[in-house]
Chain A
């Protein structure tokens, strides 16, 4: 038996995973409720007349009034995950409903949401209800105090990838040597108590940029190492609370803080569960049966294979941008799903022109007729949005009886404080291009260089 075999056969307490499941479920439930109460279901998924789809997922659309129903399902399944009630069913339902919501309109794309999607996918394969769950409470045969070590480690690995890749992405000349985009964002927080004036200082912008990069790169290792863990966790709290104060990033900081608990020892998690048991009058000792969860050989083979493939994809996928020519921040080809968090301040302006190819007659489109201000903002600086919107406009005006339609766009984009420059070739009929993963040749060159990864 090699090292890998020994590793796969080593066991650890199930408590950390149980705590993770409990807090994850509660956080997700709170996120859904918060999203609803903010009126965002209505604003983001009911009001718009048009939705931007991910390539290959054009069939995923909001369902009008039934969209609320998807959020209900998502919220209930999150609670079931927290309680560990019908866990496998609950986490699969949560993964599907949450992912469906995220696929409905890519305008709302956030790395954080993608993180939740893939994390919940991973959790489908983990025995997170083996301990301190309703499932286990109802059927003592399902109680296992110990689970394979890799089950807990895979969550740590995913968190580690998120941080480390986010750190790698910050190793670029804009972030480190121009302190961009923090130089634009931080001074705008002039009304934050105590920090407001300080955030106007240049050295602060650089200090935040460099320490943010170091934090992301190093924090997974410091969390892993017992001797630095407590200090590292302190940093996790400081860092995420600070991001919460300075940027509109919703629940994510809390989710990350709570997730980082998984790096702590089983003893810590037992203490947490004792507190929870105290509150809810649960007899925690019932779960402490010292049983090991041993997967059947075939189940183990399939599960570990799926997880291995999952991580291979996670590790390789963010590098796909290397296959494209041009500046990544400019073209955004291979930008998403790569933990490139808070790297760009991009503002665009796109004026579409509909031309009758035969008569040459033309008119301009008022984007606010079709898009919400938020959608328009996202569309104007991202080529795949521009292309999809052009197709939509052509369909719309074709139905209105226009013929020989050609769609052109005059667009300008400013990136990280540079002066705006033309973005899409105004001479090309956008209808000549289909959306695909191939390089979009109609993007004009950036004519500048952002060095780094």
Chain B
């Protein structure tokens, strides 16, 4: 007995000796630089993506202004191009719903679809509305623009003639400026304190940046890519396909591009790829490799990457208009959903476990 107790004593002494040797001193080369990852996310991805998106929404507002000043088919074409660019660029920032964006409900205001067309029409008619109300999510943002620029009348000429009405002009202008002003706010926040707060909050608790962001990142994939872009229109949840739930329903040929842009950006973020360049920095993929290097590897990062590759290559086979894909051959949409679902499991179960991410808003005793 005495032997064992002195053995235990020696064991603790070894522990404490080692901890003062290694732990007290400099940086451990084996340790993953989590702050470096947050810096890469903020400085090389999030901040430039918002800056770029902010340019797009500014030009969207400018083009809208030009169109309502002079409603012509030429100006409509230009405006539509600005709309398409901005909508695609939105896919590069939509997953960053933290900080100011979360506070403003940025994603809800910019991209709640399907748009509520009858409400939009009655508000235009009344000329009296308040787009800052949460109840008006479905009456503004890109889905409202999609309707106003593509669905409000049959031909381009007819659409242009709709904008001889001051009421339509005003509404269109208000929707475009609101997208821009919300984006200006979020962009300004990232240019300022938000970046520093985000990067310095390296706490391992459920309120630390990594935990908070990871929960949102995965939720974005599950709810906004899997369910929003594919699941609801394909009727994966109800068994009834609902083509009117497709993103950019009226623009027709835009929906697949939006889906692919969102997938691309999701994967690029996973791999720490800098915004607008092919350079890579610290990322989930490296973090997973680091955590997995400690155990018999399951190569989770490559499993996730190959599943995302699979989803992307399946996406390429879809009709440029997901609406017509739902209407003509919904099976491909359901196949897309099944592949997305496999990625959800990898992210939500395996990645959460490997990185030991706490779930939101809960802190209670464990044992």
Tell me the A residues contacting B by CB distance below 8 Å. Answer: 38, 40, 43-44, 108, 110-112, 178, 180, 183-185, 187-191, 194-198, 200-202, 205, 207, 211, 214-215, 218, 221-222, 225, 227-228, 231-232, 235, 238, 247-252, 341-342, 345, 347-349, 360-364, 372-374, 376-377, 412-414, 417-420
Chain A, Cβ-Cβ closest to B5:
A228
Contact of B23 among A195, A211, A377, A412 (CB under 8 A): A195
Q: Are B365 and A198 in contact (CB under 8 A)?
A: no
Task: Map CB proximity to A onto B291-315 as digits: 1 under 8 Å, 0 otherwise.
Answer: 1001110101001000000000000
Asked if residues B204 and A188 are in contact (CB atoms below 8 Å), the reply is yes
Known: A345-B356, A362-B238. 14 other contacts (CB 8 A): A110-B367, A111-B367, A112-B365, A190-B31, A197-B22, A211-B8, A211-B11, A248-B366, A373-B362, A376-B359, A377-B359, A413-B349, A419-B298, A420-B350
Most buried by B among A108, A188, A196, A250: A188
- Does B363 lie at the interface of the complex (its beta carbon under 8 Å from any beta carbon of A)? yes
B203:A347 contact, CB within 8 angstroms: no
Q: What is the minimal beta-carbon distance from A160 to any residue of chain B, in angstroms?
A: 15
The answer to whether B8 touches A247 (Cβ under 8 A) is no
Most chain B CB inside 10 Å of its own CB: which residue of A200, A207, A361:
A200
Partner of B294, one of A183, A231, A377: A183
Q: What B residues does A180 contact at CB under 8 A?
A: 295
Whether B5 contacts A412 by the Cβ 8 Å rule is: no
Q: Which 9 interchain pairs have the tightest Cβ spacing? A: A197-B28, A250-B365, A420-B349, A374-B362, A188-B356, A347-B353, A194-B23, A364-B237, A198-B23
The verdict on B154 contacting chain A, using a C-beta distance below 8 Å, is no
Q: Counting CB contacts under 8 A, is B260 at the interface?
A: no
A409 CB, nearest partner CB in chain B, Å: 13
Known: A218-B4, A228-B1. A184 touches B356 (CB 8 A): yes
Residues of B within 8 A of A188 (CB): 204, 355-356
Q: Does B354 contact A (CB under 8 A)?
A: yes
B85 to chain A, nearest CB (A): 33
Known contacts being A222-B1, A413-B349, is A196 close to B23, with CB within 8 Å? yes
Contact of B19 among A198, A211, A215, A349 (CB under 8 A): A198
Contact for B367 among A187, A201, A342, A363, CB less than 8 A? A342
Q: Specify which chain B residues have a CB less than 8 angstroms from the CB of A250 in the assembled complex.
A: 364-365
List, in ascending order, chain B residues with CB within 8 A of A43's CB.
362, 364
| Best-buried of B24, B27, B291, B295 by chain A (most CB within 10 Å) | B295
User: Measured between alpha carbons, how far is A373 from B211 in the docked complex, in Å?
Assistant: 14
CA distance A349 to B342 in the complex (A): 11
Which A residues are CB-close (under 8 A) to B2? 227-228
Closest CB of chain A to B361's CB: distance in Å?
6
Report the separation of the CA atoms of residues A342 and B366 in the bound assembly, to the nearest whole angstrom. Answer: 8
B337–chain A nearest beta-carbon distance, Å:
11
Interface size class for chain B? 35 or more
Residues of chain B within 8 A of A238, CB atoms compared:
12
| Interface pair B295/A417, CB less than 8 Å apart | yes
Q: Which chain B residues lie closer than 8 Å to A413 at the CB level?
A: 349
Cβ contacts under 8 Å, A417 to chain B: 295, 298, 353-354
Contact of A373 among B19, B236, B361 (CB under 8 A): B361
5 contacts between A and B (CB under 8 A): A178-B295, A214-B8, A373-B360, A374-B362, A412-B349
Could you mark each residue 323-367 of chain B with 1 if its beta carbon is under 8 Å from any beta carbon of chain A, else 0?
000000000000000000000111011101111100111111111
Query: Contacts of A218 on B, CB cut-off 8 Å?
Result: 4, 8
User: Once the chains bind, are A185 and B356 in contact (CB under 8 Å)?
Assistant: yes
Given the complex, which residues of A lie within 8 Å of B30, measured CB to CB? 197, 200-201
Q: From the candidates B345, B359, B360, name the one contacting A412 in the complex (CB within 8 A).
A: B345
What 1/0 flags go to B99-141 for Cβ under 8 Å of A? 0000000000000000000000000000000000000000000
Within 8 A of A (CB), among B233-259: 236-239
Q: Which residues of B contact A252 (CB under 8 A)?
A: 365, 367
Smallest CB–CB gap between A174 and chain B, Å? 11
Q: How far is the CB of A400 from chain B (nearest CB, A)?
A: 15
State whether the Cβ of B202 lies closer than 8 Å to any Cβ in chain A.
yes
User: Measured between C-beta atoms, what is the minimum distance from A336 to chain B in Å?
Assistant: 11
Given contacts A194-B19, A420-B346, A235 and B8 within 8 Å (CB-CB): yes
- Taken together as a complex, chains A and B put the C-alpha atoms of A184 and B238 apart, in Å, by 38
With a CB–CB cut-off of 8 A, which chain B residues contact A195? 19, 23
Chain B: minimal CB distance from A294 (Å): 35
Residues of chain A contacted by B77 (CB below 8 angstroms): none
Asked whether, in the complex, the Cβ of B349 is within 8 Å of the Cβ of A414, the reply is yes
* A191 touches which of B204, B344, B366 (Cβ 8 Å): B204
Q: Is residue B81 contacting chain A, with contact meaning CB distance below 8 A?
A: no
Q: Which residues of A contact B364 (CB under 8 A)?
A: 38, 40, 43-44, 108, 248, 250, 374
Bound-state CA distance A374–B364 (Å) is 9
Contact assessment for A235 and B349 in the assembled complex, using a CB-CB cutoff below 8 Å: no
Is B34 an interface position by the 8 A CB rule? yes
Within 8 Å CB of B31, what residues of A? 190, 196-197, 200
CB–CB A248/B345 < 8 A: no
Chain A residues with CB under 8 A of B9: 231
Q: Is B153 an interface residue (CB 8 A)?
A: no
B24 / chain A contacts, CB cutoff of 8 Å: 194
Interchain CA distance A191-B348 in the complex, whole Å: 24
